[in-house]
Amino acid sequence: MPNQDEVQPVAAWLALARVSEWWPHFANLESAPSPALAEFSVSEQERLRGITAPRRRAQFIVGRLLLRRLLRQLLTPTRTFSVSASDQGPPRLEDQDHDAPELHLALSHSGDWVCAAVAPLALGLDLEATEDRSRARDWPALATMAASPTERRALAALHSPAEQGAGFLRLWTLKEAWFKQQARALDLAVLPRLHTAPANDAAAFNAWVWQTEHCTLALSWSSTLSSTPLPVHWVQSYPVGSGHGPAPTDASGPLGTTAPLHTLAHAKPRPWHVGLPPSA
């Protein structure tokens, strides 16, 4: 994996973890996790102290550890770094090297899953766990709120509630990722005007979407900053204390999809375009 002192291609580096696989290694917040948590910045420590729900604490810790795993792969071995945390906006890498491309960080979590991403351009990342959405849902009603007329017709044409659910999660994650990439708050008035469509032309798409029985993940970027499909590289995410090292996975090229442990990282991403019509 390149480091920040080298000339880097424009690419995104991702790591995925299942919280339940990591949490046994540091479930006792007073003892076992202290070496890892000691690396957290002051703002991260303050943010963590304000989180009381056990699951959310676990998601926060695992997400921050994933970011550090990616940054250690991308930065020079001797480089120290600090990551900020705030209630609004994505995490940020502090004290960046001004002679190198700025690295942008992204995190998303849902249920038992957490995903982290790092890239030299602004990203939008959204993850939705399918197992958290297993109860019956009124997909047409949800689509009325979030989907464009064209998207609603496409969802209605699907044959089963399961297919409709998968289709809705796909368009929802794509739209949330777009808002995040744009640094905009989710706007219910804009949601149905924001259109998603599968893209066949490599120059016409600005998002990848991965989908399995476990979860749906969307990654969005600015097509004005990257005129070619954004390559994605998955990095192994072994739990802290498991005895495994953070070896990178070779996933070069725009359809790089190989990664250990989880089926989502093995799934072939589908190219999509997300955007508002010119008049919006």
Among candidate residues 195, 190, 146, 136, the one with its CA nearest the CA of residue 169: 146
| Least-confidence region, from 73-82, 104-113, 202-211 | 73-82
Mean pLDDT score, 162-172: 92
- Tokens for 140, please give them: 């047409």
Query: Residue 258: which residues within 8 A CB-CB, separation 6 or more?
Result: 234, 249, 250, 251, 265, 266
- Residue 213's pLDDT band (cuts 50, 70, 90): confident
- Residue 134's pLDDT band (cuts 50, 70, 90): very low
80 backbone dihedrals φ, ψ, rounded to 5°? -95, 150
The rounded mean pLDDT for the chain is 79
Is the pLDDT confidence value at 254 over 50? no
The answer as to CATH 3.40.50.80 being correct for domain 12-275 is: no
CB 196 within 8 A of CB 272: yes
Domain boundaries, the chain: 12-275
DSSP string computed for 84-137:
E--SSS--EEES--TTSPPPEEEEEEETTEEEEEEESS-EEEEEEEGGGG-S--
Q: Could you give the CA distance from residue 125 to residue 156 in angstroms, rounded to a whole number?
A: 26
User: What is the reported pLDDT for 88?
Assistant: 76
User: What is the reported pLDDT for 249?
Assistant: 37
User: What is the reported pLDDT for 257?
Assistant: 32
Alpha carbon separation from 74 to 82, 95, 142 (Å, rounded): 14, 15, 40
Tell me the angle at which helices 139-146 and 149-156 cross, rounded to the nearest 10 degrees. Answer: 160
- Residue 225's pLDDT band (cuts 50, 70, 90): low
Query: 250 or 179, which is more confident?
Result: 179
Highest mean pLDDT among 65-69, 201-205, 251-255: 65-69
- pLDDT, tens digit, 9 for 90 and up, residues 18-29: 888 877 665 554
- pLDDT, tens digit, 9 for 90 and up, residues 57-105: 889 989 999 998 899 888 877 677 888 887 778 888 887 666 667 899 9
